[in-house]
Structure 1
Amino acid sequence: MRPVLSAAVLLPLALAACGRAEVKPPAEYSLSGQIAGNWGADPKLRLALVGTGVPVAVTNDSAVAQNVVATGVNSWQYGFDLPGIPNVAGVYQVVVFDDANNDARLNLGEPVARNRLWLVFSLLGGTFGPLNVPDSWPGGGAELLPEMTVSRGWNLYDRSRALGESNPRVVTRITGYDLSR
């Protein structure tokens, strides 16, 4: 009886020690913004960091600390923690999706929204790119990102603006990374 009792006491303690990351208000995450649009009735909105690295390493990671808070009809505020140092240099986006099957993964066919802002991570400052769509993807070989000058760490590139002195720009905290469908 004693081993069963010990296991019954130790298991909750072990699980508590593993604990999840603290859920913070959206504005306290390293990336934050608004989500808008018609996602249907009772969407299970979740965020994922998607992209491709150098050499080709596809990323689809929704197991990142995040918080999505409803602020009205078809309106949410969110926060998302960018990884401190990804495994590889590359180009990424944070996307929002309706996790219809509730598996915490972005799956083909789930509604998704993104914007024109790209997150470029570089291990060193200097020239980055050009980067092409992997051959195995639809549109394979097309230019994903033009050649640009970046700083070490996270850089924000706005595809709707011309490359220049402030585009891309180095970032540590990003606000206004809005997503809509």
Structure 2
Amino acid sequence: MRSVLPALLLLSAALVACRPQEVRPPDAYPLGGTVSGTWGDSPRLRLALVGTGIPGALTNNSAVPQNVVASAPNSWQFGFDLPAPGLFNVAGVYQVVVFNDANNDARYNVGETVARNRLWLVVSPADATIPAVTLPDFLGGAEALPAMTVRRGWNLYDQSRPLGSGNPSAFTTLSGYDLSR
């Protein structure tokens, strides 16, 4: 009987992991904000975590649990689950983008209408100074971020504000990550 117990525990853990994710209201996710602008008739808005690890592991992931809810004409609220910081063994610079999933494949594809902002999500496995970063080609390629000091976990870097004095700042939940076109 004892040899069966570990197998049953593994099976039950696998079944729990495979169950459908519950849909939560946008404000119940660790990252939230609004989407606004003109997206055409009946857009299929989805969110994706895009960016790069240092040095160079590109990410384009729209399979992250999320919820986008219409709140008014041309206005939506969203919630997005960021991966747990412990899943990263290197620093990385990311953005959550919104896109109109025109081909309904639940994945951001180059050419689909997209919007992003000037807020960068920097993740680090430890308190550290990370080097300057250049964006991947599918996000424009040329825009570089300066070297910066970050805390362990998720940090927000606002490109519209000077570096230092709380920029970047560490967070566990973040609202106001607004996206528009």
TM-score, normalized by length of structure 2? 0.85
Alignment correspondent of 1:148: 148
Alpha-carbon offset, residue 165 of structure 1:
1.6
Alpha-carbon offset, residue 138 of structure 1:
8.0
1:50 is aligned with what amino acid? Answer: V
For residues 83-102 of structure 1, what are the structure 2 equivalents within 5 Å?
Answer: 83-85=83-85, 86-87=87-88, 88-102=90-104
- Cα distance in 1 for partners of 2:107, 2:132 equals 29
- Cα distance in 1 for partners of 2:39, 2:135 equals 28
| Runs of at least 5 residues in structure 2 that lack an aligned partner in the other structure | 1-13
1:131 is aligned with what amino acid? Answer: V
Number of aligned residue pairs: 166
Extract structure 1 runs of 4+ deviating beyond 3 A: 14-17, 136-140
Alignment correspondent of 1:167: 167
Alignment correspondent of 1:82: 82
Contact 1:130 1:143 in 2 (8 A): no
TM-score, normalized by length of structure 1? 0.85
- Cα distance in 2 for partners of 1:17, 1:126 equals 33
| Partner secondary structure for residue 176 of structure 2 | coil
Alignment RMSD: 2.0
| Partner secondary structure for residue 115 of structure 1 | coil
| Runs of at least 5 residues in structure 1 that lack an aligned partner in the other structure | 1-13
Contact 1:131 1:146 in 2 (8 A): yes
The alpha-carbon distance between structure 1 residues 162 and 17, as it changes in their structure 2 partners (threshold 3 A), is closer
- Cα distance in 2 for partners of 1:52, 1:16 equals 30
| Partner secondary structure for residue 39 of structure 1 | coil
Larger radius of gyration: 1
